[in-house]
Structure formats: C-alpha cells, structure tokens
Amino acid sequence: MTKKLMVLAAGTLAALAFMAIPSIATAGEFVGTCSSGATCTGNVEGTGDATLEDSGGLKITCAATGGTATQTNNSSTGTAKFIFTGCTESIFGTHCENTITNGKIETNTMVSHNVILEATPKVVGVLLTGANVTFNCPTVFIKKTVTGNIIGEIVNPECGVQKPKSTFSFAAGATTGSQKWTQITTTGTAFDLTSNNDAGGAYATSSQTGIGHINWATGSAVRLDC
C-alpha cells in the first residue's frame, strides 16, 4: 500500500471510529437513551398544584399541569413545554391566562438537560433553560413575564434502567422566591427564574414548585445513564 493510500485508510478508520462514539455530555450532564433508538416523545402529567412565587410573596397557583416533552436519543438534552390550567393569583383569586381559555398558561418550548445535582451521594435532576412566558391576571397586573432557567430533581431515577415514566420534583428553597436546586454539582453558575409585572416593573427572583411525570409514548422507555 502506498503512503497516500495508507493516509486515506487511516483517515477513513478514524472517521468511522468517531461515528461509533456515543454522544458525550458536557460537564455535569449525563446521557439519556431511548428504547426506540430515536427521539422519545411523551406527555407531562402533573400531580397536585403547581405554584409560581416571587420574592415579594405573590403566588400564582395552578390546579393542573400538562404539556409535552422529548428526550433526544443518546444525548443529555431534550425539550419540555408545560400547560398550566386552573391558575389563580393569591391576592384576589383572579384567573391568570395567556390563552383564550381562563386559567390556562402555556409556556414556550424549553431545552432540557439531564444534570447531576450532587455527586456523592448521587442526586440527579433536569435543568430547563430558556424559559420565556408572559401572562396576565387582570385584577392584579396586566402582564407578568417570567424568564430564566430552573432545576428540578429526578425522583427515584434508577439510573441504568429503562422506564416508561420519569418523575420530577421542582421544590422551593429556604428563601421566598428561591429554588431548592440552583447549581449543577453544587458549583458554578446559579440558575433561577426572574419575573416582572407589566413588562417594566422591578425584576424579582421567582420559584416554581410542583411534581409531575413524563409518560413516554406507548412502546417507548428512557434509560438515564447517570
């Protein structure tokens, strides 16, 4: 074999080897694998109330949570979109909405990241990035905008086991408007939500609490390689 052919063959083998390497998660993230070998899709099912609270103590409580989610195969990322229904504010009990249906608030589609919250003992979770939603509660404010990022814990993850359902818990921290989990591996960048009223008021740190499941589509299951 000539030197030129040897170089070409080596390059081809290197390319094939690279293609065989699984997707590598960034620091503090871990991969999710879909049983179908393609992107898994699922529906969000909330358990009980979901509450948004800002640092001033104003709460928006929603009676039910739905939505959609995806997990990209062999990747640490996916997407999530929530639909909150039966939403009211804590001062006068006014319905809050951003659709034509009273008490219904739809979020934008956010990017989800499978993340390690604590290394030892291992606690894993999900980081949702790029939240940007606006809604109104007419008696209290015409417009409230919530932006930022939020971390929730994956409850009983059973790392390495394919499951047709994933359960997540978003919990509040010790300070009003703060989130329990704000960092990946308890270090580095702190992630949180911020909100303001009437698209011009002062921004306030805000927390989102609630427990929910992702029911993966029939015949699908997700394995968390954490």
Number of domains in the chain: 1
Could you tell me the pTM of the whole model?
0.86
Residues of the chain with pLDDT under 50: 1-24
Write a three-state SS string for 108-154.
Answer: CCEEEEEEEEECCCCEEEEEEEEEEEEEEECCCEEEEEEEEEEEEEE
146 located within any domain: yes
2 located within any domain: no
The residue segments making up the domain with residue 186 are 25-225
pLDDT of residue 199: 62
13 located within any domain: no
Q: How many distinct helices (H) and strands (E) make up the chain?
A: 1, 13
Q: In what order do the strands lie in the sheet with 222-225?
A: 31-34, 222-225, 162-163
120 located within any domain: yes
4 located within any domain: no
pLDDT of residue 18: 28
pLDDT of residue 4: 33
pLDDT tens for residues 52-103?
999 999 999 999 999 999 999 999 999 999 999 999 999 999 999 998 888 8
102 located within any domain: yes
